[in-house]
Amino acid sequence: MIKRNAPPSFKEIDDFLNHIQGKLPDGFIEFFSETNGAEIFREGSYIILWPLTDMIKLNQDYRVEEYAFDYFIFGSDGGDTAYCFKKNTGEIYDFSFIGMSNEDAIFMCETFTKFLMN
What residues does each domain of the chain span? 2-117
CA distance to 31, 74, 98, per residue, from 27 (Å): 6, 13, 28
Task: Work out the average pLDDT over 83-99.
Answer: 97
43-65 tens-digit pLDDT: 889 999 999 999 999 999 999 99
Task: Provide the pLDDT for residue 15.
Answer: 96
CA distance 83 to 108: 9
pTM metric for this prediction: 0.95
**Beta carbons of 51 and 60 less than 8 angstroms apart:** no
For residue 21, what pLDDT is reported?
A: 86
CATH code for the domain defined by 2-117: 3.40.1580.10
